[in-house]
């Protein structure tokens, strides 16, 4: 029993040897047949220049893993011709996660013909601007009572009985109007401030043709002392047919009391190129002056009518005192009238 496996081993070795011997014989016969065929077709030799890789069998699990990890093939890129104009390429759409939301379907817009007019109406022209304001456009405010004045003044009224006009005449006239000159004498018994001159001018038919209130009147002295006399001049425009005039004075009492007690000497009248001039000296023998010192010259014709008048005002009236005299020269236009006399008047305050 112990020698039985040895018998089987010898028998297996002998069998193996016979198998290998058979394979060797078969391979030898194949080689001979190939050798003979190679000798007949030696002109058609085949050369293999590239070594083929050895194929190694792999398991199915490895193949599945390789397929899973293989990246997807690249997207083909469009070929851009360098000479062709640039064309915007379509972006590559990548899948993104979209969250569904409840959205109501959009309502289809309904076109309205009146929303966009095809022919808009023409723009109306701007309203014309009125050249004159309408009276109704401005509301009339109710009148308010006048407030009382802190320094009330008396309402001046004409006072014909207290004033006297003398030497009044039309001294000059042309196509534009007339000039009236004259004197006013204060007979009210107190100092008066002249406010204005009033009156009316009449034509040859007795009709009033001008109101003196609208005339340009001038008198050199505002405050006239009691018994004082002051010349005036009035210019009335656009009147021609003049037959008469009526004048009056509107004045009010004054707190000032000008002085007239000055001494005049060395008077020398002269006429130069139509101007009538008087030179002289003035002394103040009374109290010092603080406000003004005025010298007047009044020219008269042969009918004792005022032709014209002139004024001279001292610059420093306070310096005219006692022996310190004022040298003056006062002149006025004679209007080419024949001057028969003149008067000098000095008034100061």
How high is the pLDDT of residue 286? 94
Residue 151 has pLDDT above 80, yes or no: no
Window from 10-24, 149-163, 200-214 with minimum mean pLDDT: 149-163
Tell me: domain 155-255, CATH 2.60.40, correct? yes
- State percent of the chain over pLDDT 90: 41
Higher pLDDT, 40 or 160: 160
How high is the pLDDT of residue 21? 82
Residue 260 has pLDDT above 60, yes or no: yes
Residue 344 has pLDDT above 90, yes or no: yes
The CATH architecture assigned to 259-349 reads Sandwich (2.60)
How high is the pLDDT of residue 248? 92
pLDDT in tens, 35-51: 554 444 444 444 444 45
Tell me whether the CATH fold assigned to 155-255 matches the one assigned to 259-349: yes
How high is the pLDDT of residue 304? 96
- State percent of the chain over pLDDT 70: 58
How high is the pLDDT of residue 212? 82
Residue 152 has pLDDT above 70, yes or no: no
Residue 71 has pLDDT above 70, yes or no: no
Residue 73 has pLDDT above 70, yes or no: no
Residue 150 has pLDDT above 80, yes or no: no
Q: What average pLDDT score do residues 259-286 get? A: 95
Higher pLDDT, 124 or 193: 193
Query: What is the domain partition of the chain in residue ranges?
Result: 155-255, 259-349
How high is the pLDDT of residue 45? 44
Residue 59 has pLDDT above 80, yes or no: no
How high is the pLDDT of residue 132? 45
Query: Can you tell me the distance from the alpha carbon of 259 to that of 279, in angstroms, rounded to the nearest whole number?
Result: 21
pLDDT in tens, 188-206: 999 999 999 998 999 888 9
Average pLDDT along the chain? 73
How high is the pLDDT of residue 241? 83
How high is the pLDDT of residue 172? 83
How high is the pLDDT of residue 9? 55
DSSP bridge pairs for 308: 299
Higher pLDDT, 263 or 41: 263
Question: Binning pLDDT at 50, 70 and 90, where does residue 32 land?
Answer: low
């Amino acid at each position: 029993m112990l020698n039985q496996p040895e018998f089987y081993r010898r028998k297996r070795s002998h069998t193996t040897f016979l198998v290998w011997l058979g394979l060797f014989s078969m391979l030898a016969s194949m080689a001979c047949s190939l050798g003979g065929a190679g000798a007949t077709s030696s002109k058609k030799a085949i050369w293999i220049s590239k070594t083929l890789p050895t194929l190694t069998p792999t398991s199915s699990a490895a193949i599945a893993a390789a397929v899973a990890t293989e990246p997807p093939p690249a997207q083909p890129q469009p070929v851009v011709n360098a000479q062709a104009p640039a064309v915007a390429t379509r972006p590559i759409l990548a899948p993104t996660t979209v969250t569904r939301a409840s959205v109501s379907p959009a309502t289809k817009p309904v076109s309205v013909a009146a929303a966009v007019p095809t022919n808009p109406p023409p723009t109306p022209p701007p309203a014309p601007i009125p050249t004159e304001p309408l009276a109704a456009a401005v509301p009339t405010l109710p009148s308010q009572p006048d407030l009382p004045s802190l320094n009330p003044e008396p309402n001046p009224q004409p006072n014909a009985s207290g004033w006297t006009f003398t030497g009044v005449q039309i001294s000059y006239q042309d196509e534009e109007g007339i000039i009236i000159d004259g004197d006013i004498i204060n007979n009210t018994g107190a100092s008066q401030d002249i406010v204005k001159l009033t009156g009316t001018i009449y034509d040859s038919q007795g009709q009033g043709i001008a109101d003196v209130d609208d005339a340009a009147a001038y008198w050199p002295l505002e405050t006239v002392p009691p018994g004082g006399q002051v010349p005036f001049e009035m210019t009335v425009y656009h009147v021609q047919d003049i037959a008469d005039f009526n004048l009056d004075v509107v004045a009010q009492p004054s707190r000032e009391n000008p002085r007239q007690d000055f001494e005049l000497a060395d008077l020398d009248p002269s006429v130069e190129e139509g101007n009538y001039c008087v030179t002289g000296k003035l002394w103040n023998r009374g109290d010092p002056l603080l406000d003004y010192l005025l010298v007047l010259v009044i020219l008269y014709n042969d009918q004792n009518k005022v032709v014209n008048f002139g004024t001279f005002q001292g610059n420093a009236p306070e310096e005219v005192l006692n022996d310190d005299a004022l040298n003056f020269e006062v002149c006025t236009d004679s209007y080419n009238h024949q001057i028969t006399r003149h008067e000098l008047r000095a008034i100061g305050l």
